[in-house]
């Protein structure tokens, strides 16, 4: 135990001097090592300049070019922090062109560093198209499955129901609608109000004014209601005849959301018989065609048949 303590004590003798010597040795090694010649691959920014205001890139181009450089270690380390770039002047470029990338195009490198070769890409394809913008409707990919005894009333309301998109004219014109992400709601018993993401553009150069929209879905408890004394209308009757319907009214049972049913009157229901179709039925067995408001179904039409009496 005593010998161990003596060993540790000797090791800590002149500790600061030992650390300083180690640091000096590392610095000396660094200067010697970085003074040697190396080859290293670095990213060089690719900048597009003088793009015409009315034009836009149809296809994206790389933001960087990988270049193999040669030089001393110190210069290569310094190069990594420098603003080095390649510029392509679009004002001198045709609408579609493939431009080779060469080491002579690199700007911002010191004279002690040599660009040896382009690694990738060795060329850039430029395709310009006219800038276009238009408004596109939003299509909801939303599935609603209410709990038994409940019903989805109306359609899913999207707010806003359309957004602006812009980009290359040929790509913008190919977009007819924008879909939301797919989402499913099960056992729903009340109104849903949420935000939902839009599916991103298929093309990188097409942009949306919004990435999310708000949607509302109305869920109501299913109810029933009987409405009576609905008058029967006769359509397509000649002007020189008087047509009497016997009986002249009907009743029926409505099914739908309770809030919707509470706002329905008999005036909202149309019951009619086409005079021209009377020859297809027996005189007292003519059914009426019934039309009810949206999101409502009906049953138990009474009476089911009617008679048309024609007076000339």
- In sequence order, what DSSP letters do the residues of 41-64 get, joined into one string? EEEEEEEEE---TTEEESS---SE
Q: Last residue of a domain, which of 97, 121, 145?
A: 121
Report the pLDDT value the prediction gives residue 145, as an integer from 0 to 100.
Answer: 95
Number of domains, the chain: 3
The answer to whether residues 89 and 140 belong to one domain is no
> Quick check: pTM over 0.85?
no
Does some domain include residue 28?
no
Does some domain include residue 29?
no
Residue length of the chain = 312
The answer to whether residues 263 and 280 belong to one domain is yes
pLDDT 10s digits, 13-60? 555 555 565 565 555 444 554 557 888 899 999 999 998 888 899 999
The answer to whether residues 184 and 136 belong to one domain is yes
CATH code for the domain of 235: 2.170.120.30
Q: Last residue of a domain, which of 221, 251, 272?
A: 221
The answer to whether residues 205 and 240 belong to one domain is no
CATH code for the domain of 206: 2.170.120.40
Report the pLDDT value the prediction gives residue 33, as an integer from 0 to 100.
Answer: 47
Decide: helix, strand or coil at residue 239.
coil
The answer to whether residues 217 and 134 belong to one domain is yes
Compute the half-sphere exposure of residue 194: CA atoms within 13 Å on the CB side of its CA.
Answer: 13
Q: Which of 173, 171, 177, 164 is closest to 205 using CA atoms?
A: 171
Stretches in the chain below the pLDDT threshold 70: 1-35
Q: Last residue of a domain, which of 84, 102, 121?
A: 121
* Residue 192 lies in domain: 130-221
Does some domain include residue 22?
no
Site of tokens 């510029």: 87
Report the pLDDT value the prediction gives residue 198, as an integer from 0 to 100.
Answer: 97
CATH code for the domain of 84: 2.170.120
The answer to whether residues 109 and 144 belong to one domain is no
Using CB atoms within 10 A of its CB, is residue 169 exposed (0-12), middle (13-18) or buried (19+)?
Answer: middle
Query: What single-letter DSSP state applies at residue 95?
Result: S
Alpha carbon distance 140, 158 (integer Å): 7
The answer to whether residues 156 and 94 belong to one domain is no
């Amino acid at each position: 135990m005593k010998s161990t303590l003596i060993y540790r004590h000797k090791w800590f003798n002149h500790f600061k001097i030992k650390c300083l010597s180690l640091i000096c040795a590392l610095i000396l090694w660094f200067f010697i090592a970085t003074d040697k010649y190396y080859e290293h691959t670095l990213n060089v920014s690719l900048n597009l300049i003088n793009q015409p205001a009315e034009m836009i890139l149809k296809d994206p181009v790389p933001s960087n070019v990988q270049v193999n450089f040669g030089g001393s270690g110190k210069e290569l380390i310094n190069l990594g922090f420098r603003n080095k770039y390649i510029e392509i002047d679009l004002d001198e470029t045709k609408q579609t062109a493939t431009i080779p990338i060469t080491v002579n195009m690199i700007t911002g490198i010191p004279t002690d560093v040599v660009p040896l070769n382009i690694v990738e890409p060795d060329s850039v394809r430029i395709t310009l198209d006219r800038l276009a913008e238009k408004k596109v409707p939003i299509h909801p990919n939303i599935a609603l499955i209410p709990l038994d005894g409940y019903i989805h009333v109306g359609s899913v309301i999207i707010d806003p129901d359309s957004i602006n998109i812009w980009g290359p004219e040929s790509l913008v014109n190919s977009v007819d609608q924008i879909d939301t992400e797919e989402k499913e709601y099960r056992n729903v018993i009340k109104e849903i109000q949420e935000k939902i993401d839009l599916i991103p553009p298929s093309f990188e150069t097409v942009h949306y004014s919004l990435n999310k929209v708000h949607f509302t879905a109305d869920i109501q408890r299913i109810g029933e209601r009987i409405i009576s004394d609905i008058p029967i209308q006769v359509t397509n009757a000649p002007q020189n005849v008087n047509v009497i319907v016997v009986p002249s009214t009907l009743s029926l049972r409505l099914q739908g959301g309770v809030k919707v049913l509470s706002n329905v009157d008999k005036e909202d229901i149309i019951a009619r018989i086409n005079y021209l179709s009377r020859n297809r039925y027996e005189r007292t067995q003519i059914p009426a065609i019934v039309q009810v408001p949206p999101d409502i179904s009906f049953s138990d039409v009474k009476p089911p048949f009617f008679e048309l009496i024609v007076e000339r």
